[in-house]
């Protein structure tokens, strides 16, 4: 009843006032670019050519096909594994086949965390197997496992207010309400440390996700200094709800956790592919994604999609003989999942030439239908990008979102003042699959990947070719 009334009201107000027209970034910020606006508009033909080539022409379906071949061959590509290194070699070969030979790799020391065997069993009030995924860098349990009562915690404030004696010797289960990933992920990344500080023997976290079909979601966590490292893992939304219901009814839950994870260091590589600029080869427009993945699923969405649209950009430009003024650099970051390790190494190795980065892009939040860009930079920079995005109205990808820390890897570089952007896309279901066995090709759509490839390639081309640098 109430719903019907509200719907009627909405229809009424739409009839009376008309649907409000959403203002564009340029209108909101009164961007005045003078002659540059005309110059940018003149790229409409090349944008159309790139979209045609990628969406209906010779490249139609290729991003999906190549990505499928890649993930079907290698599967998951965890940091420090041989399969990750083999997949890097494969991408280099695939690029050479396109007659692009300006490829270097840079070595990086990366963590090699291996989850081993994992098992979580509810012993009381009844015996039940609980699905888990250990969190990145978790220490193992002793061989006999850890058996303890569960204390359920909604948020860190609740944890702080509970006396140490109540928590000591128990397994803390964080059961936060998922709002956004950014706001909720701290229970995964810092949960073990905060629980250990209060004397817990292990910690679990409700998977950081809005939706579940009994799938645990893994992810990185970091131990703080000077606290005991306790084993830590994610459980499903369903089991977190189950345990909460049982405890709320006044019953005790006893769990037995067994984990055999191991850890050492390995050498991996960032991969750098250049399509050299014709006038200013030292000035870089970077497109990027990470090639490593979690050890579950196939890393098709995270971040195979970002990897392959960033691979496609120089390939399509080369095929269309479109050589911009500045260099298009495609980077495949290594070991993103275990703490942006490849990107940190790149930033350190290239700190002195970082001024050569004109603009840096990363796609690591899904490659569903592109909507535009999430942009870090000053207002002038954003005005220029907003003007470029106007050329993508035909594929509904003209929206500019202000985002001071876009992407994952590239925030290390945008935070020192380099303008950059991540792909803003129709990713409302991204966290359903993120870091789970469900991250497979089935999540992705061939046409949406074509649109993403077209958009990514054309945006990078224009930024690399226009007469002005993106201001800092």
Give the catalytic positions in this structure: 336
User: Residues 199-228 vs Zn ion: string with x where CB under 5 A?
Assistant: ------------------------------
- Taking CB under 5 A as the criterion, which residues in 2-41 touch Zn ion? none
365 binds Zn ion (CB under 5 A): no
Residue 268 zone, left/alpha/beta (φ > 0; ψ -120 to 50; rest): beta
295 binds Zn ion (CB under 5 A): no
Closer by beta carbon to Zn ion, 47 or else 209: 209
Least distance from C-beta 294 to Zn ion, angstroms? 9
Closer by beta carbon to Zn ion, 303 or else 387: 303
Closer by beta carbon to Zn ion, 274 or else 365: 365
Least distance from C-beta 298 to Zn ion, angstroms? 13
Residue span binding Zn ion (CB under 5 A) among the ranges 6-14, 358-366, 380-388, 463-471? 358-366
| Site size for Zn ion (CB under 5 A) | 3
Residue span binding Zn ion (CB under 5 A) among the ranges 109-117, 320-328, 360-368, 432-440? 360-368
- Taking CB under 5 A as the criterion, which residues in 296-335 touch Zn ion? 302-303
Least distance from C-beta 2 to Zn ion, angstroms? 41
Closer by beta carbon to Zn ion, 364 or else 448: 364
The whole-angstrom separation of Cα 303 and Cα 337 is 10
364 binds Zn ion (CB under 5 A): yes
Closer by beta carbon to Zn ion, 159 or else 300: 300
Binding site for Zn ion (CB under 5 A): 302-303, 364
């Amino acid at each position: 009843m109430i719903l019907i009334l509200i719907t009627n009201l909405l229809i009424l107000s739409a009839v009376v006032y008309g649907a409000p027209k959403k203002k564009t970034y340029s209108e909101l910020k009164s961007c005045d670019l003078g002659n540059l606006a005309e110059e940018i508009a003149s790229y409409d033909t090349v944008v159309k050519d790139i979209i045609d080539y990628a969406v209906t022409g010779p490249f139609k379906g290729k991003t999906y096909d190549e990505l499928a071949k890649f993930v079907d061959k290698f599967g998951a590509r965890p940091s420090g594994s041989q399969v990750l290194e083999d997949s890097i070699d494969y991408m280099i070969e695939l690029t050479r086949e396109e007659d692009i030979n300006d490829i270097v790799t840079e070595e990086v020391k990366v963590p090699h965390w291996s989850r081993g065997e994992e098992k979580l069993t509810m012993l009381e009030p009844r015996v039940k197997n609980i699905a888990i995924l250990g969190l990145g860098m978790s220490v193992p349990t002793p061989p006999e496992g850890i058996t303890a009562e569960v204390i359920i915690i909604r948020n860190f404030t609740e944890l702080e207010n509970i006396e140490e004696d109540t928590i000591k010797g128990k397994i803390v289960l964080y059961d936060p309400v998922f709002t956004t990933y950014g706001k909720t992920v701290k229970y995964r990344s810092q949960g073990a440390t905060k629980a250990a500080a209060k004397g817990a023997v292990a910690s679990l976290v409700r998977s950081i996700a809005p939706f579940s079909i009994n799938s645990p979601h893994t992810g990185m966590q970091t131990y703080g200094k000077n606290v005991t490292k306790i084993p830590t893992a994610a459980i499903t939304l369903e089991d977190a709800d189950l345990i909460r219901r049982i405890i709320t009814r006044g019953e005790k839950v006893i769990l037995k956790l067994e984990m055999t994870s191991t850890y050492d260091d390995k050498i991996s590589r960032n991969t750098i592919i250049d399509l050299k600029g014709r006038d200013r080869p030292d000035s870089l427009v970077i497109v990027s994604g990470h090639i490593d993945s979690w050890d579950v699923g196939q890393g098709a969405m995270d971040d195979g999609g970002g990897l392959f649209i960033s691979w496609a950009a120089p390939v399509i430009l080369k095929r269309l003989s479109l050589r911009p003024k500045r260099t298009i650099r495609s980077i495949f970051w290594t070991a993103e999942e275990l703490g942006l390790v490849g990107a940190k190494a790149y930033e350190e190795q290239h700190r002195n030439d970082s001024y050569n980065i004109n603009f840096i892009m990363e796609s690591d939040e899904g490659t569903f239908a592109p909507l535009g860009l999430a942009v870090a930079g000053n207002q002038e920079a954003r005005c220029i990008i907003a003007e470029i995005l106007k050329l993508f109205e035909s594929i509904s990808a003209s929206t500019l979102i202000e985002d001071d820390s876009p992407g994952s890897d590239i925030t290390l570089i945008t935070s020192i003042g380099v303008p950059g952007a991540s792909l803003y896309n129709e990713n409302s279901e991204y966290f359903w699959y993120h870091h789970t066995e469900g991250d497979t090709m089935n999540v992705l759509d061939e046409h949406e990947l074509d649109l993403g490839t077209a958009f990514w390639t054309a945006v990078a081309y224009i930024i690399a070719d226009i007469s002005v640098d993106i201001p800092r």
